[in-house]
């Protein structure tokens, strides 16, 4: 038997109290959902999923603008999604009356895809815009939803195939 | 209101239910989404990419990515003749405004869109000291920005350079595969706007997803397979020079 056993008992009591304090503090501090799926806060998954999308998606566009979809089906821009050119329209889809989208500037937006660049796939239609249009907006001659020009161009000075590669 | 014994007996269970609700935290955001039935990845068809930068712009807008930082970006590869180990890679402004016109350099030229590979065995989640980044049960590598310390371990650990520290929040940020969209049945913002279909979201657990037929019939690679990260962004038609 040890001498002065109560020292050891006192030490044991202090350690048990410290352990209890740790357990209580840990339960209070660690989020409830921690460990629900793994070593992370399970609620984070739902929190990240809860944000509101800004791009409405072309299915939503079709709900109101089906005539544009019919028009697009006739041309090669059939598979180009609306928001690719028109930008994020989630707010417009939520409240079509008060949020009106702006028409994109074709001189900028068409060139992003169709300006000649040697890294683009060879079969993809490309033009050197200064030679092709001389700085005119593309929708002077082309209709963006059905881009192929069927009849004579409106202005005689522009040759739609002039700069074609 | 006076608290009588009868009222207390009614109130107590109601309070218990309310407390349980508070403890449970955020309710399920997408009620029809079953987390165990999905395993997300992406397909990138390099021969279809025209380098227009639509995906980069859409990603920035959808996810409030700060200027000069990128969750996805486009690289332009220039491979001079046989030097496939010395490609010249450029990504001016992440390709957000497209690429400079012309650039007739000869050799082989093509675009490679990059993003988080949503690795199954992701190095970035393994180094997180607090469990702020993780692979979700449906295979998306996410960051819990309320839990992240901003220690930058994960930024260093990612072999693909897909992470950055958001200068406003000082927490790690990365592609979330538009988790707030895909759980609602939408596709990601980058796939939504891609005009040529070069980027396609893929649900690898859905047997009807066209990805399975595509993987079967095409020569598909992942980036840095020697890192054995279990990357789930598949590249079709990828040249050996791509890093």
Q: Is B107 at the interface with chain A, CB within 8 A?
A: no
Indicate the domain borders of chain A. Answer: 5-49, 53-102, 103-165
C-alpha distances in angstroms, B34 versus A96, B21, B30?
31, 21, 9
Which helix (H) or strand (E) segment holds residue B221: the answer is strand B220-221
pLDDT of residue B5: 82
Cβ-based neighbour number of residue B158 at 10 Å: 22
CA dihedral sign, ordered A146, A149, A155, A157? positive
Residue pLDDT, tens place only, A23-34: 999 999 999 999
* Residue contact B180–A40, C-beta within 8 A: no
Predicted local confidence at residue B90, as pLDDT = 93
> What is the CATH architecture of B35-121+173-236?
2-Layer Sandwich (3.30)
Find the radius of gyration of the CA atoms of chain A: 33
ipTM over 0.85: no
Counting as low any pLDDT under 70, the low residues of chain B are 1, 17-30, 102-104
> Can you give the pLDDT at residue B19?
60
User: Given this model, what pLDDT does residue B103 score?
Assistant: 64
**In chain B, which residue ranges form alpha helices assigned H by DSSP?**
5-24, 54-63, 123-126, 153-157, 179-182, 189-193, 211-217
Interface of B with A in 157-216 (CB under 8 A): 176, 178-181, 183-184, 186-187, 189, 192-197
Q: Are A73 and B54 in contact (CB under 8 A)?
A: no
How does pLDDT run across A90-143, given as a tens digit for each residue? 999 999 999 999 899 998 899 999 999 999 999 999 999 999 988 889 999 999
- Name which of A45, A79, A124 is nearest B142 (Cβ-Cβ): A45
Domains of chain B: which residue ranges? Answer: 35-121+173-236
Q: How many other CB atoms are there within 10 angstroms of residue B137's CB atom?
A: 16
pLDDT of residue A51: 94
The 10s digit of each residue's pLDDT in B56-97 is: 999 999 999 999 999 999 999 999 888 889 999 999 999 999
* Nearest chain A residue to B131, by CA: A40
Predicted confidence (pLDDT) at residue A157 exceeds the cutoff of 80 = no
Q: Can you give the pLDDT at residue A156? A: 45
Chain A residues with CB under 8 Å of B137 CB are: 37, 45
How far the first Cα of chain A sits from its last, in Å, is 100
Q: What is the pLDDT of residue A1?
A: 64
> Rounded to a whole number, what is the distance in Å from the CA of A12 to chain B's nearest CA?
31
Distance in angstroms (rounded) separating the CA atoms of residues A119 and B50: 8
The DSSP H or E segment spanning B79 is strand B72-79
Residue of B94, B98, B192 for testing the chain A interface, max A β-carbons within 10 Å: B192
pLDDT digits (tens, 9 = 90+) for A32-67: 999 999 999 999 999 999 999 999 999 999 999 999
Asked if residue B134 lies in contact with residue A39, where contact means CB atoms within 8 angstroms, the answer is: yes
Judged against a pLDDT cut of 80, whether residue A153 lies above it is answered with no
pLDDT score, position A159: 44
Distance from the Cα of A152 to chain B's closest Cα (Å) equals 27
Strands B220-221 vs B72-79: parallel, antiparallel or unpaired: unpaired
- Pairwise CB contact (< 8 Å): A88 & B58: yes
């Amino acid at each position: 038997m040890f001498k002065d056993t109560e020292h050891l008992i006192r030490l044991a009591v202090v350690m048990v109290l410290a352990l209890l304090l740790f357990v209580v503090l840990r339960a209070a501090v660690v989020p409830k959902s921690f460990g629900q799926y793994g070593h992370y806060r399970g609620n984070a998954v739902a929190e990240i999923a809860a944000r509101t999308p800004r791009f409405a998606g072309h299915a939503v566009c079709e709900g109101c603008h089906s005539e544009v979809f019919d028009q697009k089906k006739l041309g090669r821009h059939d598979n180009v999604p609306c928001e690719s050119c028109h930008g994020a329209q989630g707010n417009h889809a939520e409240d079509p009356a008060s949020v009106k989208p702006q028409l994109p500037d074709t001189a900028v937006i068409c060139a992003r895809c169709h300006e000649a660049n040697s890294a683009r796939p060879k079969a993809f239609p490309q033009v050197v815009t200064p030679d092709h249009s001389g700085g005119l907006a593309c929708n002077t001659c082309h209709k963006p939803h059905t881009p192929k020009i069927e009849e004579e161009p409106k202005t005689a000075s522009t040759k739609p195939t002039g700069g074609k590669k | 209101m006076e608290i009588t014994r009868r009222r207390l007996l009614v109130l107590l269970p109601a309070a218990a239910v309310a407390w349980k609700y508070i403890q449970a935290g955020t309710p399920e955001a997408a009620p029809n989404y079953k987390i165990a039935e999905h395993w997300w990845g992406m397909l990138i068809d390099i021969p279809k990419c025209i380098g227009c930068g639509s995906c980069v712009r859409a990603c920035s807008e959808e996810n409030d990515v700060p200027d000069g930082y990128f969750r996805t970006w486009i690289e332009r590869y220039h491979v001079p003749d046989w030097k496939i180990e010395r490609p010249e890679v450029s990504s001016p402004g992440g390709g957000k405004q497209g690429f400079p016109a012309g650039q007739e350099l000869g050799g082989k030229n093509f675009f490679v869109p990059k993003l988080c590979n949503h690795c199954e065995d992701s190095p970035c989640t393994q180094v997180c000291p607090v469990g702020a980044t993780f692979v979700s049960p449906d295979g998306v590598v996410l960051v819990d920005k309320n839990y992240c310390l901003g220690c930058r371990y994960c930024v260093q650990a990612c072999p693909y350079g897909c992470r950055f520290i958001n200068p406003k929040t000082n927490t790690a940020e990365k592609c979330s595969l538009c988790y707030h969209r895909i759980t609602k049945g939408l596709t990601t913002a980058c796939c939504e706007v891609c005009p040529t279909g070069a980027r396609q979201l893929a649900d690898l657990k859905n047997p009807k997803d066209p990805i399975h037929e595509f993987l079967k019939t095409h020569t598909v690679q992942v980036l840095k397979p020697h890192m054995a990260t279990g990357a789930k962004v598949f590249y079709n038609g990828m040249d050996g020079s791509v890093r």
